[in-house]
Structure 1
Amino acid sequence: MVTLVIGGSGSGKSEYAENLAVSLGQERRIYIATMKPWDEECRQRIERHRQMRAKKQFETVECYRSLKELKLPGDGKAGVILLECMSNLVSNELFGLGEENEAPYLEEGAVSKEILRGIKNLEEKAEHVIIVTNEVFSDGDSYSKETLVYRKVLGEVNQRIGKEAGTVVEVAAGIPIIIKNR
């Protein structure tokens, strides 16, 4: 079953998602990290978060793009997969990673299809899939063309996942608000 956890920056959505994953039992927990370490500060932050997750028995797997091709280490199965976070994945698919010999990044219309195929891949590997995403539509009204495209695609991805998900939770000020629960 898929659970979508959405919230603004600093809302507590990540902590909620991690605690939910832990509450689902002692089976194997995989944390899929989608944030590419762009600089030393970012690398230090990622390492700190990795150590915190290890205390909760998460195995971290980095996947910046091409979620549909992801293979899990070992037997390829998990009790829970937590994907953190969809907004990074959408950005990476739209704009690339800035690496030499990188596969071409996706056109706007292909991103949501690619990501939804990736979610299906995760569902085949785990009983529970928890997806963390950002709510980026409550602030500002003047953005660059690229940012407008990003917001449009992230909104489409969030809506499509939300429709298919068994549970959708919005976290505001650390308070989970159940939007949908099948």
Structure 2
Amino acid sequence: MLTLVIGGAASGKSAYAESLCLQSPLPRTYLATMQVWDAECAARVARHRAMRAQKQFATVECPLHLDRLTLPQRGTVLLEDLGNLTANELYAPDGAGDNTAEAILDGLEKLAAQCDNLILVTNEVFSGGANYAGDTALYLRALAKINNAAAARADRVVRVVCGIPCDYKGGKKT
């Protein structure tokens, strides 16, 4: 089963996605996409890794090249998050560059084939109404393409607003 959880900054999307994982059978894998640039980032990663271990998550770091990943086990996978992965692939010297959306979508297909439940967290960054230029517009177009394709492929799409999950596809009707 593929679930896409979308929301704005500090919307509660990550906490909700994690709660879905905790309701799923073991084993659980947390797929972290954050790039570690400095000691502060490394300390944050270590803190988050320890918190997830208490919840029986195995953490796999994957800031680039999702299409090359082989999971250590099946089960439930939480990918946190598509926005980071998109920025990493788009801007890292060894990233996918202009082929970012295609590379990530290929990686998502390969990832989905390796697990029983896949929960994707992504950013809702398109309702600001501003006109962006240059690299920001490129990033937004790539993430939009990824989000749209993931939503089309997903069994369930949930938008989290102020901590409240709202099902758009495949969930409970309220």
Q: Which TM-score bucket, shorter chain as reference?
A: over 0.9
1:30-45 superposed matches below 5 A: 30-45=29-44
The total of aligned residue pairs comes to 171
Displacement of 1:47 = 1.8
Query: TM-score, length-normalised on structure 2?
Result: 0.92
Q: Select between 134-143 and 15-24 the one with higher mean Cα deviation.
A: 134-143
Partners of 2:96 and 2:66 in 1: CA distance: 13
Residues 24 and 49 from structure 1, CA distance in 2 versus in 1: closer, same or farther, beyond 3 angstroms?
same
- In the alignment, structure 1 segments of 5+ residues that lack a partner are none
Alignment partner of 1:82 is 2:78: yes
AA aligned to 1:16 is Y
Backbone CA RMSD of aligned residues: 1.4
| Offset from partner CA, 1:74-121 (integer Å, 9 cap, x none) | xxx32101100000111111111x5xxxx3x3243x222211111111
Partners of 1:66 and 1:118 in 2: CA distance: 7
Alignment partner of 1:4 is 2:4: yes
Displacement of 1:9 = 0.7
1:30-179 superposed matches below 5 A: 30-73=29-72, 77-96=73-92, 103=94, 105-108=95-98, 110-139=99-128, 141-179=130-168
Partners of 2:117 and 2:11 in 1: CA distance: 22
Contact 2:91 2:97 in 1 (8 A): no
AA aligned to 1:111 is T
2:21 match: 21
